[in-house]
Amino acid sequence: MAHGHADPPAGLSPRFTRHLEHPCNLGELASPQGRAEMTGQCGDSIGVQIVVRDGKLAQVAVQPRGCAYTLACASAVSVLARGRTLDAALELSPEDVMAELGGLPADHAHCARLAVNTLGEAIAEYYRVAAPARAG
């Protein structure tokens, strides 16, 4: 995976470094029920795919393309969302992602917004596509 920055950013928390060095839930799902890809103001993008079981996010896969902050935020949102009900996942905020990472520099807060917004779009697609199909 190509990153915009080769070296990990200095002075960030051990939790950020852990998500950066061992990102969670990277890849694609075989049969996602919802998916979205969004591009942030910096040009980085995140893809999110979800599988829902019993009203909860059973699987969350992320495909970040961009810098170290985008990768870490995508990993963090996947960890925070997995196992939550759809409503609880929709309540996740950029601040929740930043807390999971132990903080972010202000000039990279948009990466946390991108991660949360993309998750929200994947859930919205699930409601538009998969949920009506399951009900019918």
Domains and CATH numbers, the chain: 19-128 (3.90.1010.10)
* The token pair that represents 28 in the structure block: 């694609």
Residues 70-81 pLDDT 10s: 999 999 999 999
The total number of residues written for the chain in this structure:
136
* The token pair that represents 116 in the structure block: 């949360």
Residues 136 and 121: their CA atoms lie apart, in Å, by 22
- pTM of the complete model: 0.91
List, in sequence order, every beta strand (DSSP E) within the chain. Answer: 34-39, 45-53, 56-65
Query: With contact defined as beta carbons under 8 Å apart, do 100 and 82 qualify?
Result: no
Positions in the chain whose pLDDT score sits under 50: 1-6
